[in-house]
Amino acid sequence: MDLLELAKARWSVRKFSPRPLEQEKLERILEAGRAAPTAANFQPQHIYVLQSEEALARINSLCRCIYGAKTVLLLSYDTERDWKNPQQAGIHSGEQDVSIVATHIMLSAWEQGVASCWVNAFANDQVAAAFGLPERERVVLLLPLGYAAEDAKPMEKWHFSRKPLADTVTFL
C-alpha cells in the first residue's frame, strides 16, 4: 500500500478488542515516531506507554475516549525544550512536533494492522498531574492503540467526508 492509499484507508477506531499488541509491533510503531521531523531537531516529545491495569484505570477515569484499548500512548512535550520562533512571539513548535510524531505513529500502526484514535477530549493538566509529569511537560494527545473489535466501524458522518481540495487549497 502506498502512502496515499494508507492515509485514505486509515480510520479512527472507537472499539478495541482485548487482544494485546505485540511488543515488536509497538517498538516498530514507536520507531516511526522517532523518525519524525521536529523544529530544529530539538525532539521535545515524550511518549508514555500506558499498559498496566493501574495506568489504564487512571486514564479511563479521566477520559471517555479510550474505547477499551489495552495500550494507550500519552504524548507530551517539554515546554523548555521546544523551538521558540524568534520572529513571532508566542509561537512555539511543541504541539506541531508532537502532532507529526503522532501522525507517523498512527500511520505506521495502520500499516501493521493496528488501529488507533487521536484523542484530545480530556483535561490536559489533570492528566499530566495524574501521571506525575514534570511541571514543564504539556500533554497534547492520547492515542488508544490496538486491534479493532470485530464490529468496529468508521463513523459515517466523520470518516467518509473530506472537503474538496479546492475548499482547502489556494494556489497563489
Residue 121 in contact with ligand FMN, rule: CB under 6 A:
yes
Residue 12 in contact with ligand FMN, rule: CB under 6 A:
yes
Distance between alpha carbon 50 and the CA centroid of its chain, in Å? 13
Cell output for 10 = 486509515
| Closer residue to ligand FMN (CB): 96 or 172 | 96
Spatial distance between the Cα atoms of 56 and 72, rounded to a whole number of angstroms: 8
Q: Whole-number minimum distance, CB 62 to ligand FMN, in Å? A: 12
- How far lies 133's CA from each of 21, 34, 56, 77, 140, in Å? 25, 20, 16, 10, 13
Binding mask 41-80 for ligand FMN (x = CB under 6 A): ------------------------x---------------
Spatial distance between the Cα atoms of 30 and 49, rounded to a whole number of angstroms: 10
Residue 5 in contact with ligand FMN, rule: CB under 6 A:
no
Residue 159 in contact with ligand FMN, rule: CB under 6 A:
yes
Residue 168 in contact with ligand FMN, rule: CB under 6 A:
no
Q: What element of type H or E holds 143?
A: strand 137-146
Cell output for 27 = 517498538
Residue 156 in contact with ligand FMN, rule: CB under 6 A:
no
**Options 17-25, 41-49, 75-83, 151-159: segment touching ligand FMN (CB under 6 A):** 151-159
> Rounded to a whole number, what is the distance in angstroms from the first to the last CA of the chain?
32
Only one residue has cell 514534570, namely 134
- Interface residues toward ligand FMN, by CB under 6 A: 11-12, 14, 65, 117-121, 154, 158-159
